[in-house]
Amino acid sequence: MAFRRRNKSYPFFSQEFLIQNHADVVLGLVILILIGLMFEVTAKTAFLFILPQYNVSMPTPVKDFYGEIAFYRYGLRDCLTILFYLFITIVLHAVVQEYILDKINRRLHLSKVKHNKFNESGQLVVFHSASTIWCLYIIVTEGYLANLTSLWENYPHVFLPFQVKFFYLCQLAYWLHTLPELYFQKVRKEEVPRQLLYIGLYLLHIAGAYLLNLTRLGLFLLLLQYFAEFFFHTARLFYFTDENNQKLFNVWAVVFVITRLFTFTLSVLAVGFGLARVENQGLGLESGNFNTFLLRSSILLLVCLTQAWMMRRFIHFQLRRWREYLQEQAVRKKSTTNRQLKVVKKETGNHENGMMVKAENGTSPRVRKLKSP
C-alpha cells in the first residue's frame, strides 16, 4: 500500500527515502506486531502493544446481583501501547493527507504557505471532530455530566474504565506523533517553535491529568478545548477556499470566549474548592493521591497561565483582523472615490479658465485657447 506518488526514486535509507515512504515503513511495523498475535510464542508480547495494561477486576453492583468489571491503572508498560497507537496515527495521518487533503489542494492551487496551513488545519479538523465526539460519549456514558461532583468525590480516581484509559493513551499517541511529523512534512524552521509550544502544552496537560489521576476533569477540559479548536480550523479551511468566507471566525470568537470562561470556572470549582474539601488530603505515591495544597496551587496556576496566554493570542488575532478590515475598507473607499471622479470628468467634458470649450464643428470637445481680453 503506497501513500505517496513517487515522482522520483531515492537510495534506500536516505533522508528523502524515509520522508517519502515513512507511512509504508510504519505500516510494515504495525502489520508485524499484528502477525505476532497469530503465534503463541509472540502473542503475549504483541498484546503488550495492542491492549491497555494493568487491568484489575473489581466487584460492581449490577441491578440485583454483583458482577465483575475490569478497571485499569497506569504504569510503564503503557509506553508500549502508546508507541503502537503512535504508529497507527502516522498511518491515518498519511491516509487523510493522501486521499482527502492533497486532492483538495490540487483543485485550489494555493501558495506554499497557505498550502501548509491548509494541511495543518485539515488534519486538526479531523482529529478535533473525532476527539470531541469520543470525549462527549465517554462523559455521558460514564455519568460524569449528570453528576459534576464526581470530578472530585472519591479522589484519587486510580481505577479507570477501559474507554477512559484507552482515550488518554490515544490522545498521548496523537500528540507524540506530531513531533516526527514536523520532520516528515518538512515544516519550515520559523514554524517549528510555534508548533513545539503548541504540542508541548497539549502533552503537558494531558499527561498531567493522566498521571495525577485527574482524568475526569481532564475529559471536560479537553472537550471544551477541542470544541473551540474545531471551529477555528474549520473557519481557516473555508477562508483558504475563499478569502471572503470569514463569518465562521466570528462564530469561533464567541465559542472561544465561552469555553475559556467554562474552563476557568470548572478548574477552580473542581481543584480549588472540590479537592480542597475532600477528606483524603496528603501526598501518597503508592495510592496515587496528589491532593496537597502545593500541587493544587500549581495546577490552578498552570491552567490560569495557559488560559491567559490563549486569551492574549486571541486578542492579538482579533486586533490584526480588525486592522486588516479597516485597511481593506479604506482601499475600497479610495478606489470608489477615484472611479466617481473619473465618471464626473467624462460627463462634464474639458474645461479651461472655468469655461467649457467646444470644437468649431461641434463634433468633438477639443480644448482651444482663449485670447485674453
Measured between alpha carbons, how far is residue 126 from residues 92, 119, 242, 265 in Å? 10, 11, 20, 28
Query: What does the pLDDT read at residue 355?
Result: 45
Q: What is the pLDDT of residue 370?
A: 42
Q: What is the CA radius of gyration of the chain?
A: 30
Mean pLDDT of 130-152: 95
Higher pLDDT, 350 or 248: 248
Give residue 329's pLDDT band: very low, low, confident or very high (50, 70, 90).
confident
Better-predicted residue by pLDDT, 275 or 66: 275
Averaged pLDDT for residues 55-77: 78
Give CA–CA dist 285/282, Å, rounded. 10
Q: Which helix (H) or strand (E) holds 65?
A: strand 65-72
Q: Where are the beta strands (DSSP E) in 174-300?
A: 282-284, 289-291
Return d(Cα 15, Cα 12) in angstroms, integer.
Answer: 9
Output the pLDDT for position 65.
52
For CA atoms 162, 270, 259, 225, the dihedral sign is negative
The amino acid at 327:
Q
Grid cell locating 130: 473525532
Cβ–Cβ < 8 Å for 275, 296: yes
What's the confidence (pLDDT) of residue 372?
Answer: 38
**pLDDT value, residue 137:** 97
What is the per-residue pLDDT for 371?
42
The partner residues of 289 in beta bridges, in order of sequence, read 284
DSSP state of 38: G
Q: What does the DSSP assignment read for 44-90?
A: HHHHHHHS---EEEEEEEETTEEEEEEEE---TTHHHHHHHHHHHHH
For the entire predicted model, the pTM comes to 0.85
State the SS3 of 189-208. Answer: HHHHHHHHHHHHHHHHHHHH
- Measure the CA–CA gap between 223 and 155, rounded to whole angstroms: 21
Q: Is the pLDDT of residue 357 over 50?
A: no
pLDDT digits (tens, 9 = 90+) for 74-112: 999 999 999 999 999 999 999 999 999 999 988 888 888
At 202-260, the pLDDT tens digits run 999 999 999 999 999 999 999 999 999 999 999 999 998 887 778 889 999 999 999 99
